[in-house]
Amino acid sequence: MYKKYRQCVGAMVINKHKKVFVAERIDSQGSFQMPQGGVNEDEESRVAVLRELEEETGMRRVEFLTCMPESIEYEIPQSYRPKHWNDEFIGQSILFFLLRFDGEDDEINLNYSSHPEFKSWKWVDIQDVLDEAVAFKKNLYSDVITTFKPIISIVSNNYKILEG
């Protein structure tokens, strides 16, 4: 059966300075993105985002703040589609979560998994996320920023929005 959009989760991770984590993909020189990945069958989105975040960055000490009200669909240009998709998907339906990293920068490990996706990372101001992103993700990231920016502005180091 042909599936148009792959079910995914994404993580906008902020640090104690309200900077956003972005990482440069190994396969895309100069393009940074926020961590994201597929949701396994019968896996809850909150579990999936924690798994993906740990696999891609080694981050474990994170706190859920909130999530988007619904998933956003976006298409991926053919040249960027992973070979393991076998043309089954044309894009992704992604649910973004806002998380706060409560660890230290030296805990971030892009080689945590046996198949790293990123070669470098940095913390950026939220308004700079779009400047760092690959072109086909700019609209997606614009929606994520629009949703999370007002929330980030009121988050303090002790503030919880999403319980659980």
CA angle 156, 125, 24 (to 5 degrees): 120
CATH topology of domain 5-154: Nucleoside Triphosphate Pyrophosphohydrolase (3.90.79)
| Structural domain spans, the chain | 5-154
Please, what's the b/e burial string for 41-64 (b: 16 or more CB within 10 A of its CB; e: otherwise)? Answer: eeeebeebbbbbbbbbbebeebeb
Cα dihedral 128→132→138→141 (10° resolution): -60
Model pTM score: 0.91
Residue with tokens 């980030």: 152
Can you give the pLDDT of all 164 residues of the chain as single tens digits? Answer: 456 999 999 999 999 999 999 999 998 778 899 999 999 999 999 999 999 999 999 999 999 999 999 999 999 888 878 776 777 888 999 999 999 999 999 999 999 988 899 999 999 999 999 999 988 999 999 999 999 999 998 886 555 554 44
